[in-house]
Structure 1
Amino acid sequence: MPVPLTIAAVDALRAKTPGVLHTTHFNHAGSSLPSMATVEAMRVHLQKEAETGPMEAGVAARHQIEQARTLAARLLNAQPSEIAITTGNSSAWGGAFAALDAWHPGDRILVGRHEWGGNLATMRLAAERAGASIETIASDDTGAVDPLALEAMLDERVRLIALTWMPANGGLINPAAAIGQIARRHDIPYFVDAAQSVGQLPVDVAQVGCDVLTSVGRKALRGPRGTGLLYVRQDFLSRLTPSFVDTHSAPLDADGEPVLRNDAARLEPSELAPALRCGLANAIQEALDIGLDAIRSRVNEMAQTLRQELREIDGVVVLDQGREHSGLVSFNVAGHEAGALQRTLAEKGIAIGSNGVSYTPLDMKARSLDMIARASVSYLTTAAEVDRLIDCIRSLAR
């Protein structure tokens, strides 16, 4: 059993997070509030760059910078050689997708209904050029991707299964491991977008059964913006040839020929700021120290309280689907367009998010949704903050 995060423990974590003094933050799914220690890790490295030179500071801090990879491997139950540090989730996912073999007419890509719009755009450009198709896996009666429906779609032309584990437009959690079992059984490449998942719940890539998993530092991990994680299963690495390389990802040999690295860093940019990697390493260490089981329990408790309170307000519709829920609570308020609601709450010092169709186009269109408001919690969220948000929404809904 995880050691629960007590009120005292949450208060101690909040005391080390300056942002809680300035905002009531319910946009952790967009970008969370970093700790002072994460900010300080970046500041210290930037100071070294100013004093000794950026290149020299990077060499001196090489071990500390590399900690981001080592700690990310622990976080995902992977090997450090299977981890690349990237500039974000989209760059990680897009880089891995672009490294796949060429697409051909008749090739099929199967996606969940909740696939991130950026991933869909990337896939569609490639599919349209090659004459390949993108097909949506049916959802079950709760709205989650249906593994049985996926199994029924498979044939020898399916070259990729892509799943967004936790959608950006609602609190649903898709059955990533069940999809992974099918992908492994049929030896079909399986990409998981875990942008909302990593840092919010325990992630074991072996259990998920994915070949590629991507995430981002700025969300549940509370790391710096401009950082991301890319996991590539070691046995799958040989099937990925980067669309571009440099002397970091493919150094030249004695004959001047590029030699691709034999680890995930063949998909890693050489120019990622060392200061950001220092901050990311600190943020991952903090998550590991707290414990992902404890984080998941606390996030679930706060999110379920928020969902229930919202359901009891006349004029509010909670839009979350699925049997298992994340810390993202999606809803709409009658008479208030979601973007306008976000701006109104911002004026009151409360940060929420809002999504349009472009974020998750397949699911939004399937449910005839133009916009949704989303309030996303963290283990930092308190009952008093939930009460404040509910009071404001109740007042607006009258």
Structure 2
Amino acid sequence: MDTNMDIEALRGETPGCANRLHLNNAGAGLLSRRTLSAVVGHLELEAAIGGYEAADRKRPEIDAVYAGLARLLGGSPDEIALFDNATHAWNAAFYSLPFAPGDRILTGRAEYGSNVLAYLQIARRTGAEVVVVPNDEHGQLDTAELARLIDERTRLVGVSHVPTSGGLVNPVAEVGRITRAAGVPFLLDATQSVGQFPVDVAEIGADMVSGTGRKFLRGPRGTGFLWVREALLPALEPNVVEIESGVWDGALGFSWAPGARRFATWEMSYANVLGLGAAVDQALSLGMPAVGERALALGGYLRERLSALPGVTTYDLGRERCAIVTAKADSVASERIAEVLRAGGVNVTTTVPGHTQFDTVDRGVHPLVRLSPHYYNTEEELDTAVRLFATAAAA
């Protein structure tokens, strides 16, 4: 796991590393001091001179957040819109598409719960059909079946890059190749992938990508973002318009704001925005290839050691797997395992059946214990977590 990153220095700049063994980065990563300073510093500036005035003073830094996210994703700043969470970002993209009776929405078994509910709502409202693409022999989205299922009725392919409930990395570049050839919009939920390993929109071929700041990017909670390919914008009609997203024409009409800002809202937490910017800058300075190499290696290290425990099974699917690791003991409830780990100072969580509905129906394995290391974790920390897991599983 050799990288050019100074892990001890990075841990020293992460206050939470002194208090807990944090293996819940798929829930929320630990803030670095630079991100914390950006958030607190702006709140202090607002308290000192006023909220509007602080935003005016920090306008160059706020604008730089769009540029930073564009660099991270491989797009342009005009293709970025900011939100207060990833679900609102994803909804802004999804609900801007028109659907009619007989239209088809294709998705995978690993799709996130909120996305699934949105598909079902639109199907009920419009008469569109939700089609779940089966998995292949590796447990990932079967791209051959996807290509077979796409037809003239298909209006959207929506895929979660990495599910909330496991270490699967879906073959999204192949999905992008298929959707581009078919001329079908591709909406990628990258909530669990951006910040964990490189995500390049050009390489993937997605048309819309949603993400969050709070997870592997290590940004503050209450931050999300949406990237939309510029060429797709004329085909989209945002579901909500307000003074940031629309421009009044002086009479009884309006035009959309240019670029992805047509999805934006005027009011936002600029303290959180600047914190997101600091987290993005840190990821860029470390280099996403190096971040991804270490994060995925730690995930593999943890998965291998948990799999070797008697009476313990890991459940991560896919040809390619990431830093999210899910496991279950044969004779001890997952929540009990998680309680023992948390009592021992290890932050973990458990998967929720309703958060990946199609996977729950397909496999019936949830809840599982979910452990998600990141680059600032150490092998020694993972060994500690495995020992506690073993103790709990043997009880």
From 371, 377, 387, give the equivalent of 2:373. Answer: 377
Q: Does residue 368 in structure 1 map to residue 367 in structure 2?
A: no
Amino acid aligned to 1:113:
R
Counterpart Cα distance in 2 of 1:118 and 1:85? 19
Q: Does residue 318 in structure 1 map to residue 314 in structure 2?
A: yes
| CA pair 140-203 structure 1, distance change in 2 beyond 3 A | same
- Deviation readout 1:329-351 (Å, 9 max, x if unpaired): 01111232222322222122111
From 312, 325, 328, give the equivalent of 1:329. Answer: 325
From 142, 148, 152, give the equivalent of 2:148. Answer: 152
Give the TM-score taking structure 2 as reference length. Answer: 0.98
* 1:192 partner SS: strand
> 5+ unaligned residues in a row in structure 2: which ranges?
none
Moved more, 129-138 or 23-32: 129-138
- Deviation readout 1:78-123 (Å, 9 max, x if unpaired): 010001111111000011111112x211111100110001000011
Q: Does residue 10 in structure 1 map to residue 22 in structure 2?
A: no
Query: What is the percentage of aligned positions where both structures have the same residue?
Result: 35
- 2:240 corresponding residue in structure 1: 244
From 25, 33, 36, give the equivalent of 1:36. Answer: 33
- Deviation readout 1:289-316 (Å, 9 max, x if unpaired): 0000000110111111101100110111
| CA pair 213-336 structure 1, distance change in 2 beyond 3 A | same
How many Å apart are 1:396 and its aligned residue?
1.3
- 1:75 corresponding residue in structure 2: 72
How many Å apart are 1:45 and its aligned residue?
0.7
From 46, 49, 56, give the equivalent of 1:49. Answer: 46
**Root-mean-square deviation (Å):** 1.3
Partners of 2:306 and 2:386 within 8 A in 1:
yes
Q: Does residue 21 in structure 1 map to residue 12 in structure 2?
A: no
Partners of 2:340 and 2:388 within 8 A in 1:
no
How many Å apart are 1:74 and its aligned residue?
0.2
The 5 A counterparts of 1:73-222 are 73-101=70-98, 103-222=99-218
* 2:94 partner SS: helix
Amino acid aligned to 1:261:
A
Amino acid aligned to 2:244:
H
The 5 A counterparts of 1:300-315 are 300-315=296-311
- Alignment coverage as a number of residue pairs: 394
Counterpart Cα distance in 2 of 1:267 and 1:78? 17
Counterpart Cα distance in 2 of 1:373 and 1:11? 27
Counterpart Cα distance in 1 of 2:2 and 2:101? 53
Partners of 1:173 and 1:324 within 8 A in 2:
yes
* 1:168 partner SS: coil
Counterpart Cα distance in 2 of 1:254 and 1:61? 31
* 1:259 partner SS: strand
* 1:14 partner SS: helix
The 5 A counterparts of 1:332-351 are 332-351=328-347
Give the TM-score taking structure 1 as reference length. Answer: 0.97
- Deviation readout 1:109-162 (Å, 9 max, x if unpaired): 100110001000011101111111101112110101011111111211011101
> 5+ unaligned residues in a row in structure 1: which ranges?
none
Counterpart Cα distance in 2 of 1:268 and 1:23? 36
Counterpart Cα distance in 2 of 1:354 and 1:3? 30
